[in-house]
Amino acid sequence: MKTCHSPVTLLSPNPQKRIALLGQPNTGKSTFFNRITNSNTYVGNWPGITVDILQGEITLNGEKVEVVDLPGIYDLHGFSEDERIVKRFLSQFPLDLLVVILNASQIDRMVRLALEIKALGIPAVVILNMADEARRLGITIKRERLEQLLDCPVYLISAKYGRGFNQAVEGIAEYLAQQKESFLVGDIDAFFDENPLLEEKVQAILRETVIMPSEEIKTLTDVLDGIFLHPLWGIPLFFLSMLAIFFLIWQVGLPSQDVMDAITTSISNHIIQPILSPFPSILQSFFLDGVWLGVTTVASFVPLIVLFFFVMAAIEDSGYLARIAYLMDAFMAHLGLDGRAFVLQMMGFGCNVPALMGTRIIRSQPMRWLSLLIIPFSLCSARLAVFVFIIAAIFPQNLGPIILFSLYLLSFIASFLVAFIISKIPDFKSNEPFVIELPPYRLPTFKHVFLRGWGEVKEFLRRASNFIIVGCVAIWFLTSFPPGATGLDTWGGQIGIFLQPIMQPIGLDPYLTLSLIFGFIAKEVVVGSFATIYGLNGAALTQQIAFSITPAQAIGFCVFCLLYTPCLSTTATIKSESKSTLFTIFSLLFSLVYAWFMAFIFYHFSLLFFH
C-alpha cells in the first residue's frame, strides 16, 4: 500500500492501447491489477479501498498497454466522489477494452452490470473473480453458456491465488489484437437504468448458467460472525482485541528499537565519526546532531511501525473492518455519522492521508465535511512513534500499553465529541442511508501483509529523505545559533520562551514547544527533534527525557501532539479533498485551539495524581 498516495492525474496521453478494470467495490479489481501489472497497490477486504484512478503499463502482443484500475461502482443511484471519478474517466479517456470484474460468488447480483455494458455495445471481457469462494459455496457456473449469452469472453479466475489468471490474460491479449479502434465508454448513468426487460433477461441468464447449492452451506464466516457480531460481546471483543494488539506492539516493538539504536550507534562510532573528524566542528555537529541523530532516532521506530502495519493489514484484509463498521453503526448514528466513519478513523491509524481520501465513498456532503474535520485526530503511525518514545521514557513499563491504548481511545473520543456537537447543527444532519455489505472473512496472505510492511519501509525512506531531514536540520540550526549560544539562549530557545505564555498552561517547556512547531512538517520530526535538541540518542536520550519532563507534562504534551495541527501531507490532502481553502484554514485553527483546551484539561487533571 502507498500510505500517502498522491492522486494520479496524468495518464500517459497516447498509450498504444488502454484497458480499464470496472466492477463493483471489493470484487478484486486491484488484486487483478496488481497481478497483471506486477505492482503493489492497496487492496483490502473493505468496499471502497480504491478511491482514485491507478495506472500501470504492461506489454501484450509486443504492444504497450496501459491498464487502469478504477474505484468500484455500486449499482445505486446518485454518485459519490469516487464514482464521479470513474464517470469522468470513462467519459474522457478512450479505451480499447473494458474488463468487467465480477464476484463469482455473488454472480446473481453482478451479472446485470455485464449485461448492461454488452447491451450498450461496449467491447468487453468478463472476469468472474473469486472462483475459489464460489466453489466453496457450492456454486457452479456454466462458463461457456454464459459466454454465448453475454456474447463476450468470460473467464473464471481467482485473482488472489492465480488460478485461471494466465488464460484470462491470454484472452484479453487475443481480444485486444483484434480490436482495431478505440472507443469512448461515455456516460455510465445508462448502466444503472431501471429496465424491467433487462431484469427478466438477467433472471433468464442466471437460470441457464448458474446452479446454486440445494441447501445453504454453513460457512466459516457464519460461525465467526456468530462470535464477532454478537449483540452483547461484539463491541467489548473488538476493544479487547485492540488492547491485545497494543500489548503485542509494545512487547515486540520496544526491544526492536534497542537493536536499531545499537546498530546506528555502532555505525556512527565506527564509520561516520572517523570520516567527519577532519572537518570543522560546526560541520561535524551539523551532520551528527542535525541529520544523523535526528533521522536515526526516528528510524529506530521503523520496526515497530512495520509491525503495526502488519497487524493492521491482517485486520483489514480479513474482513473484520467491515464488521466493525456494522457494530459501531448504531452508535455513530447518534453523532450524525455512520459505521464507515468509524472505519475511516481506524484506517487513519496508519496514515491520515488515505483515510481522508477514503471519505470519497460518502455521498452526503455534510457527512463528508464532518469526516474530513475529525479524521486528522486519528492517531497515525507517526504519532505512535512519538507516544511510544515519551511513554517508554516516563512511565513504568507495565503501564505503557495501557497509556498508549488510552491515547487511542482519546483519539476516538476527541473526534466523536466534535461530531456530536456539530451534528446538532440542523444543516449538518445527514440522512444518507448506509448499507454495509459484509464480505466473507478471508485469510490474509503472507505476501499481502509482507508487501504492506515493505511499503511502509519505502514510505519511511521517502519521508526521511525530505520532510524528516528538513525538520531535523531546521531544529539543529535553531538550537545551534547564534554561534556560542547554548540552551535557551539559542534562537530556538528564544522562540520557545516567546511562546511560553501560551504553552506553559498546558505544561510545555520551551524545548517541547520547539519540537511541536516542527512537527507540522511531519510528526516524526518531534522524535527526531529531541535527539537534535539534546544531542543524544538511545538510552541516554531516554534518560534525559525522563529527567526533564514530569508525567503530567508528558500527558499534556501527548494530548496536544495528538490533536494539534496535522502534518503537511495531511493538510494538503484536506485541501485537495475539501476543495476549500477556507475549510482547510478552519480545520487547522480549530485543531490548534481544540488541542490546547484538551491538553489544558488533561495536564491539570494529571497534576492531581502526579506531582
Task: Note the residues at the interface with ligand GTP (CB under 6 A).
Answer: 25-31, 43-45, 47-50, 71-72, 129-130, 132-133, 158-160, 317, 442
Chain residue whose CB lies nearest ligand GTP: 72
Nearer to Mg ion, 50 or 578 (CB): 50
CA–CA distance from 471 to each of 143, 439, 566 (Å)?
A: 58, 43, 15
Nearer to ligand GTP, 164 or 303 (CB): 164
Measured from the CB of residue 438, what is the shortest distance to ligand GTP in angstroms?
A: 13
Measured from the CB of residue 29, what is the shortest distance to Mg ion in angstroms?
A: 5
Nearer to ligand GTP, 347 or 373 (CB): 347
Q: Which three cell numbers stand for residue 389?
A: 518514545
Residue with cell 468487467: 100
Chosen from ligand GTP, Mg ion, none, partner binding at 480 (C-beta under 5 to 8 Å by type): none
By the rule CB under 5 A, 50 interacts with Mg ion: yes
Nearer to Mg ion, 32 or 560 (CB): 32
Report the alpha-carbon distance of residue 600 to residue 230 in Å, rounded: 39
Measured from the CB of residue 30, what is the shortest distance to Mg ion in angstroms?
A: 3
Measured from the CB of residue 210, what is the shortest distance to ligand GTP in angstroms?
A: 18
Nearer to Mg ion, 30 or 542 (CB): 30
Chosen from ligand GTP, Mg ion, none, partner binding at 400 (C-beta under 5 to 8 Å by type): none
Q: Which three cell numbers stand for residue 204?
A: 433468464
Packing angle between helix 234-267 and helix 381-394, nearest 10 degrees? 80
Measured from the CB of residue 72, what is the shortest distance to Mg ion in angstroms?
A: 6
By the rule CB under 5 A, 480 interacts with Mg ion: no
Strands 140-141 and 210-211: antiparallel
Q: Which three cell numbers stand for residue 583?
A: 475549510
Task: Kindly calculate the radius of gyration of the chain based on its CA atoms and give it in whole angstroms.
Answer: 27
| 565 phi, psi to nearest 5 deg | -30, 125
Size of the site for Mg ion (CB under 5 A): 4
Cα dihedral value 281, 283, 284, 286, nearest 10: 120
**Number of other residues whose CB lies within 10 A of the CB of residue 138:** 13
Stretch 16-45: interaction string toward Mg ion, x if CB under 5 A: -------------xx---------------
Measured from the CB of residue 37, what is the shortest distance to Mg ion in angstroms?
A: 13
CA triple 170-165-157, angle to 5 deg: 120
Report the alpha-carbon distance of residue 511 to residue 528 in Å, rounded: 13
Chosen from ligand GTP, Mg ion, none, partner binding at 354 (C-beta under 5 to 8 Å by type): none
Measured from the CB of residue 206, what is the shortest distance to ligand GTP in angstroms?
A: 21
Q: Which three cell numbers stand for residue 18?
A: 488502454
Nearer to ligand GTP, 43 or 525 (CB): 43
Reading phi first (left if > 0) and then psi (alpha if -120 to 50, else beta), residue 192 is in: alpha
Residue 474's beta-bridge partner residues? none
Nearer to ligand GTP, 22 or 388 (CB): 22
3-state secondary structure of 65: strand
| 120 phi, psi to nearest 5 deg | -85, 0
Chosen from ligand GTP, Mg ion, none, partner binding at 492 (C-beta under 5 to 8 Å by type): none
Q: Which three cell numbers stand for residue 256?
A: 526492536
Measured from the CB of residue 112, what is the shortest distance to ligand GTP in angstroms?
A: 17
Measured from the CB of residue 54, what is the shortest distance to Mg ion in angstroms?
A: 8
Measured from the CB of residue 385, what is the shortest distance to ligand GTP in angstroms?
A: 28
Report the alpha-carbon distance of residue 510 to residue 336 in Å, rounded: 40
Cβ(570)–Cβ(353) under 8 Å?
Answer: yes
Nearer to Mg ion, 22 or 150 (CB): 22
Nearer to ligand GTP, 27 or 490 (CB): 27
By the rule CB under 5 A, 103 interacts with Mg ion: no
Cβ(50)–Cβ(30) under 8 Å?
Answer: yes
DSSP letters of 511-554?
Answer: HHHHHHHHTTT-THHHHHHHHHHHT--HHHHHHHHHHH--HHHH
Nearer to ligand GTP, 155 or 530 (CB): 155
Q: Which residues bind Mg ion (CB under 5 A)?
A: 29-30, 49-50
